[in-house]
Amino acid sequence: MKISAFTKTYGGRTVLDMPETELEHGASYAVIGANGSGKSTLARILAGVEKPDGGKTVISGITVGYMPQKSYAFRMTVMRNLLVGANDEERARYLMRKLGIEHLASEPAHKLSGGETARMALARLLMRDRQLLIVDEPTAAMDMESVTLAERLLAEYREKTGCTLLLATHSLRQAERLTEKTLFFNFGKLVEFGPTQQIITQPSCEQTRRFIELYGS
């Protein structure tokens, strides 16, 4: 799965300079870096919701699912929100049960708490099988119990579908639990790319080492 090289500029400032990169089908990747490093911009461009400079397509020929950093809810019930993803009520109930929100099926989705909205948004995303799943800080609004449920479900989904997972996260522990390889960005540049355990425990670049020291506690 090849990602073509691209840049993204806002107001004359380059916020992301992505080299050509190859992702392995069925593998799992973490995207880490401080705020403003380009993680969310990368996620949006790969998902096709934002165009890079020049408007070219950087990834093609695959089905992509995307959960943005800020979860949203349509003004309808939780169940109907999930059925927007695919008209499969049995799958919807299964996903809600796995995420502990089945009791909210008939509730108006726009009145959920932040954590409940995030769980619903994740369930909605997983209503369809995708070849590439892009999730941007999917558990940031969840409590620890919900994080565990969400991570288990993501792992199960990967196993069942064989999808490639791209996880943008601030949590190095989550990167260790869910991913095999990691891309570290700093000020829009891809600084280091390699096995997750190696990058977290034995980074080869000084910028990566400083980031790990700051966020690894």
Q: In Å, how far are 96, 107, 175, 213 from 216, measured between CA atoms?
A: 32, 38, 11, 5
Averaged pLDDT, groups of 10, the chain, 217 residues long: 95 96 97 97 97 90 97 98 96 99 98 98 98 98 98 98 98 98 98 98 96 86
pLDDT, tens digit, 9 for 90 and up, residues 62-102: 999 999 999 999 999 999 999 998 999 999 999 999 999 99
Amino acid identity for residue 70 in this structure? K
- Whether residue 177 is contained in a domain is answered as yes
Domain count across the chain = 1
- Whether residue 196 is contained in a domain is answered as yes
Hey, what are 168's tokens? 């943008």
SS3 (DSSP) at 42: helix
Report pLDDT for 114: 98
Report pLDDT for 196: 98
CB neighbour list of residue 143: distance below 8 Å, 6 or more residues apart: 115
- Whether residue 64 is contained in a domain is answered as yes
Hey, what are 68's tokens? 């943005």
pLDDT, tens digit, 9 for 90 and up, residues 199-216: 999 999 999 999 999 987
What CATH number is associated with residue 17?
3.40.50.300
Report pLDDT for 57: 84
CB 132 within 8 A of CB 143: no
Spatial distance between the Cα atoms of 153 and 202, rounded to a whole number of angstroms: 29
CB 196 within 8 A of CB 179: yes
- Whether residue 105 is contained in a domain is answered as no
Could you tell me the residue range of the domain that residue 43 belongs to? 2-71+130-215
Report pLDDT for 90: 98
- Whether residue 162 is contained in a domain is answered as yes
- Whether residue 164 is contained in a domain is answered as yes
Report pLDDT for 217: 59
- Whether residue 30 is contained in a domain is answered as yes
- Whether residue 205 is contained in a domain is answered as yes
CA 190 to chain centre: 17
